[in-house]
Chain A
């Protein structure tokens, strides 16, 4: 993306003349490698290379949005020309585009290395399986009216699927998901998590139905807070029950939850959001008091955007979205958490979740759990659904938090309004009382 930024600024200038108006150009190049394994054989390899450019103008309550393929000079000119036509501005002069950027043609370097390394890991630790692997590299550039140009580059790794593991009652099929930014140690971390997921277990009995107390462990409390705090505090969640409660006490004073895109070690991190804003950490709950909203430029108060304007891709306009949910550590160890729980469920992973904003009701699907009896881990339980309502659930959090914060690597993608963005989180053990649970059908 070798853009003539001075020219783009000049083209955008007349589109955002007054305060509060937004005019911007967003470009993305994406390269994705997708590999499909079945029982040790790499059965399918897919490579995707996409480039796209969008231009947007927002003034008051109206917005014009344009998307074209390509991320070169010609695509930018086409997008801005179409945007100016939509807004009734003077068209750009026709001029031939500069030659395409040679940098965009760089080859995807480590696809073969990942294919070989994962083949070895899967064959050794989960030889019977059906897995999908994705290595996605994105480069996103934003040129906006009166702002410095931003560039954000991300490389993300995802492995999802099912494998057959030996259990004490015979073979059983287990789901597995791992999402992390690509880094030196990520293959080793993936191997360690797969080994842990393949450990022998007792035969699972159906999860109970009814009201129960729960410990969310293994970092999966981040998924819970993503649903009950993250989505309701997105600035465009007009029907949110948290909207009219600034600084209200909603939970125990020991609890601090923030949304921090700057955590680049987590799946949802980024250096600039998709409007070119450098993000900041936003306190969702501070000492039990409800914190701030997650904003983009269109929904920002005087303090400006918090850097949470995110898009699934260049063909989508930005929305205020969450990124990485971080729950601050407490002081209890796992044994103390179990003692406090007494009887209930110990859940280490969620396979999905949703919240209905207006009513505040949420549900979280867990693929397995452990029953806890008299403060000790007991039966293996099969999957189920945890459900509740947002404010009562926040009020039911115990003032005891685990001392170790763990990254939740099974948590990776969040869909809203048809837009899927990477998200992540890290959390200690969290104890909640009186949630409804029911077994999976």
Chain B
């Protein structure tokens, strides 16, 4: 069975209102730990269809065209409520040539040495998994869209264990390299995340300035992303500034892919400019409901799920950046949040956040002692409006889409 057969079947079920998606992927992965050296090769294939049968939306996915045909039949029998179909994009783009996937680089020993150096012997690299992959997507729809594109990734997960006396702490960090592996940066993050919690020192101040490492800033931005998807912004945004005037938030995945999971062209989408909320991320469905143009943010986390509006490459920006050293020098009393010790929790509607982190105390622009664990809770609106410094050192982290942040300085925060 071919794509054309499936397209014909979809046309029969939902004339003019269907979309067919195919993904093929190959990856090579190596995993090293003290006990095991594993190599893995995976070839994956996925098919998905979305269609409006008798005016009602349905979705089916399978690992083969025959499986998809069965799933179409089963999903077509379910009593789904009617809902208007979106306006389908039309575009044609040639399929890229498929190429093979090389094994990922063997960096375990180098990274283990770098972690030991960065942590002064307190932390050891426990396990490292590195994966290099290639995925090809093709999307066709009833309006004549026929596009294909290829993604290449180099990512992984590292596990590091810090030990000092009877105390131990484990840090597990996912990473993604857009270019050559940056082992020193990863080693520093791992060393901080595994060894700083060993100090047993609580936060020495209950309030002060707050310097956020790019990893922490990116996690905060990713947790606050529902703000850019909401049909109606929360009341705290409507009442005034969404963030500090120097801050902008942008989503721009054009360096990753030419179009999104629905075949809409990728473009730079400003979301916050000079502290004001100016944009929203749309897929075809939310654009139809809002009477707006799609922004190219129909995201498919996998072929198993229908596309949903979501960020694709989200990051902070500013027109007046400062160097990280300048931000550090401007801290009179505060904490540097080096790594998270629990996932960031943000409730955009209720305007609340909770961030648990490990880091270093700062007095008069100089590093004090390590802080094993601290927690900051409060209003998200105040956190975003109190950002008084944005640095130049933007780094992207997988969350699972790339979220990027430079070092940020928050003028005032409370700590527990």
Residues of chain A touching chain B, judged by Cβ–Cβ distance below 8 Å, are 33, 35, 41-52, 61-70, 82, 86, 100, 105, 107-108, 111-112, 115-116, 119, 236, 238-239, 241, 315, 317, 354, 356-359, 363, 417-418, 441
Tell which of A50, A65, A238 has the most Cβ of chain B within 10 Å.
A50
Residue among B40, B72, B81 with max Cβ neighbours from chain A (10 Å) = B40
Q: Does B44 contact A (CB under 8 A)?
A: yes
Residues of A within 8 A of B83 (CB): 43
Complex partner residue of B36 from A33, A35, A61, A108, CB under 8 angstroms: A61
Residues of B within 8 A of A (CB): 34-46, 57-64, 66-68, 70-75, 77-81, 83, 126, 157, 161-163, 167-170, 197, 304-306, 342, 345, 347, 352-354, 377
Interface residue from A111, A116, A441 paired with B353 (Cβ < 8 Å): A441
Distance in Å: Cβ of A359 to nearest Cβ of chain B? 5
Residues on B with C-beta less than 8 A from A236 are 35
Q: Please tell me if the beta carbons of A46 and B60 are within 8 angstroms of each other in the complex.
A: yes
Set of chain B residues within 8 Å of A70, measured between Cβ atoms:
63-64
Q: A49–B167 contact, CB under 8 A?
A: no
Contacts of B67 in A (CB 8 A): 49-51
Are B63 and A50 in contact (CB-based, < 8 A)? yes
- CB pair B59 A45 closer than 8 Å: yes
Hey, which chain B residues are within 8 Å of A441, CB to CB?
345, 347, 352-354, 377
Question: What would 27 A/B residue contacts be, using CB atoms closer than 8 Å?
Answer: A44-B80, A45-B59, A47-B60, A47-B61, A47-B72, A49-B63, A50-B67, A50-B304, A51-B67, A52-B63, A61-B37, A62-B36, A63-B39, A64-B38, A65-B38, A67-B44, A69-B63, A100-B66, A111-B78, A116-B79, A236-B35, A241-B168, A354-B342, A356-B169, A363-B342, A417-B157, A441-B377
Q: Hey, which chain A residues are within 8 Å of B72, CB to CB?
A: 47
A45-B75, A46-B59, A67-B44 known; A51 vs B64 contact (CB < 8 Å): yes
- What is the distance, in angstroms, from A300's C-beta to the closest C-beta of chain B? 14
Known: A66-B40, A67-B43, A358-B169. A48 touches B78 (CB 8 A): no
Task: Give chain A residues whose Cβ lies under 8 Å from the Cβ of B70.
Answer: 49, 105, 107
The list of the 9 closest CB pairs from A to B, nearest first, reads: A358-B170, A441-B354, A358-B168, A49-B67, A45-B78, A41-B81, A65-B40, A47-B75, A47-B71
In the assembly, what is the distance between CA of A356 and CA of B342, in Å? 10
Q: Of B34, B79, B169, which is within 8 A of A112 by CB?
A: B79
| Cα of A65 to Cα of B36 in the assembled complex, Å | 13
Chain B residues with CB under 8 Å of A86's CB are 39, 41
Rounded to whole angstroms, the CA-CA distance of A61 and B36 in the bound complex is 5
Query: A27 to chain B: closest CB distance in Å?
Result: 12
Partner of B68, one of A49, A52, A64, A100: A49
